[in-house]
């Protein structure tokens, strides 16, 4: 089948590919005979709630999953970098303001029951859940740790805000409680990776052998002051200072792929995460990086899992079978010590 001739305009069009089907429930899923290997996903987020807003019960089913990015409207699902649209960026901004007073409704649809149900449909055996911490009245890391205890398929990451006085104790406590890595988000946390506070966090992670997944680069839709916080050049001192600490560049630098690739080539301890990249860029990353250091990520619930998995399958079509196996499973299994 010539995949290049298949027109994928909305989410369920992915069922035109040999790997997917529409189930009896009307939902997209991987075919049982698809040949898709078991998938380990290094990048997801449970619904967030902060400040004075209501608390999300991550173990409760509130309703069907709501995604930040809409793939039911006609678009080039595989190749277009259309998200976030202006409307989606505004929605996310409004959610952040809303959290001062109440829980955003979309967060209540991003809970464990929906996450596990979607994992089952897309052959995902394990997924990393990445919290993002803010400086005051923050609870996302604590909630994520608790939610992940309900299933050994859910693997929590630690997170602390750089301004937290007890950051070292909190990292150590979360690592002792089962965290397999730490999530750092320079834009949402308003602290660049080369900031002294951030460097102290990475120092503790290196001691604990706790890999760090960093949001890196920008989409171009963020406010300019936020884009500056995640610029790629700000990571050089980090990689040079902590040669024993494994870093994963989330989204492979977004619009800054070549800079991310250069770091991964220069530093043995720097890995790349594919979350959010379209087909052409995904293929470009895999062809130009050490394939043993490329990880699959869905960025659920920004994206439906089928979008990111479909892109990765199309990008690796025609490559040696071991490439897809490494990207979708083996590299993450080795890095995060997952035995399955």
d(Cα 179, Cα 187) in Å, to the nearest integer?
22
Domain that residue 96 falls in? 33-335
Q: Which of 241, 165, 160, 159 is nearest to 203 (CA)?
A: 241
Assign 3-class secondary structure to 65-108: CCCCCCCCCCCCCCCCCCCCCHHHHHHHHHHHHHCCCCCCHHHH
Domain-embedded: residue 19: no
pLDDT tens track, the chain, 340 positions = 678 789 999 999 999 999 999 999 999 999 999 999 999 999 999 998 877 777 889 999 999 999 999 999 999 999 988 898 989 988 888 887 777 677 788 889 999 999 999 999 999 999 999 999 987 778 899 999 999 999 999 999 999 999 888 999 999 999 999 999 999 999 888 899 999 999 999 999 999 999 999 999 887 777 777 788 889 999 999 999 999 999 999 999 999 999 999 999 999 999 999 999 999 999 999 999 999 999 999 999 999 999 999 999 999 999 999 999 999 999 999 999 998 7
Q: Provide the domain count of the chain.
A: 1
The domain that contains 266 carries what CATH number? 3.20.20.140
Q: Which of 68, 80, 41, 129 is nearest to 327 (CA)?
A: 41
Domain-embedded: residue 84: yes
pLDDT at 100: 67
* CB contact at 8 A, 216 and 232: yes
Whether pTM exceeds 0.85: yes
Domain-embedded: residue 120: yes
pLDDT at 1: 65
pLDDT at 275: 97
Domain-embedded: residue 73: yes
Through-space distance between the first and last CA atoms of the chain, rounded to whole angstroms: 32
* CB contact at 8 A, 216 and 235: yes
């Amino acid at each position: 089948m010539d995949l290049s001739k298949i027109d994928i305009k909305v989410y369920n069009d992915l069922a035109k590919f040999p790997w997917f089907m529409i189930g009896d429930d009307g939902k997209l899923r991987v075919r049982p005979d698809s040949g898709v290997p078991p998938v380990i996903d290094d990048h997801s987020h449970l619904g967030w709630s902060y400040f004075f807003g209501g608390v999300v019960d991550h173990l409760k089913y509130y309703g069907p999953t709501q995604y930040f990015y809409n793939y039911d409207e006609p678009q080039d699902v595989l190749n277009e970098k259309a998200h976030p649209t202006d409307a989606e960026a505004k929605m996310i901004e409004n959610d952040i303001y809303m959290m001062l007073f109440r829980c955003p409704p979309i967060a209540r649809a991003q809970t464990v029951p929906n996450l596990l149900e979607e994992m089952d449909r897309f052959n995902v055996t394990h997924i990393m859940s990445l919290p993002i911490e803010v400086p005051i009245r923050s609870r996302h890391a604590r909630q994520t740790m608790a939610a992940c205890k309900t299933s050994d398929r859910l693997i929590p990451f630690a997170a602390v805000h750089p301004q937290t006085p007890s950051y070292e104790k909190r990292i150590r406590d979360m690592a002792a409680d089962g965290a397999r890595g730490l999530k750092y988000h320079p834009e949402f946390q308003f602290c660049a990776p080369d900031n002294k506070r951030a460097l102290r966090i990475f120092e503790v992670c290196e001691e604990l052998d706790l890999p760090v997944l960093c949001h890196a680069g920008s989409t171009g839709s963020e406010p300019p002051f936020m884009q500056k916080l995640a610029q790629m050049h700000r990571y050089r001192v980090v990689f040079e200072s902590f040669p024993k600490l494994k870093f994963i560049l989330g989204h492979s630098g977004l619009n800054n792929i070549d800079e991310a690739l250069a770091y991964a080539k220069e530093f043995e301890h720097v890995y790349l995460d594919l979350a959010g990249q379209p087909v052409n860029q995904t293929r470009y990353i895999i062809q130009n990086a050490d394939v043993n250091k490329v990880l699959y990520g869905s960025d659920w619930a920004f994206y439906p899992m089928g979008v990111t998995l479909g892109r990765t399958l199309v990008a690796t079509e025609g490559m040696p079978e071991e490439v897809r196996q490494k990207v979708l499973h083996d590299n993450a299994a080795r890095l995060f010590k997952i035995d399955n």
